[in-house]
Amino acid sequence: MRDPDRAHEHELFDMTDVKNKARFRAASHPTPGGLPQPTLAQAMLMAVAIAYGLHALFMSGPAMRAAAREQLERIVADEDRDVCSQFGIRPGTSQFDVCSRELASVRKKQVERDKAAAQGIP
């Protein structure tokens, strides 16, 4: 003999199961364009990220490198002027040019020492 309360639970379970299966089928079926919705959104996000990366690489990259190079040149010129003027050498003189070249030599040697230290060479 069947319990009337239990029969009702069986019907509820069956309805819930049917709804879940319908949701799963709807979510896994492709859109009219052929791709499931989450995949389409992910593809669009990836396309935007790639476009931004290419823009940064080809458009902004060279301009950023040029700006960094110009800033470094200004910093070096300021350092040359400050250091050489401490020895009484004014910009625009032949002595200043010699002083500036010597400072460039010191910078180059420091870069070589830094590279050697990074490789573990004392």
pLDDT tens figures, 18-65:
565 655 555 555 556 666 666 888 989 999 999 999 988 888 888 889
More confident residue, 24 or 96: 96
Give, in order, the Cα–Cα distances in Å from 59 to each of 29, 52, 67, 71, 113. Answer: 40, 10, 13, 19, 35
pLDDT score for 17: 62
What does pLDDT average to over the chain?
82
pLDDT score for 81: 96
pTM of this structure: 0.51
Amino acid at position 63, single letter: A
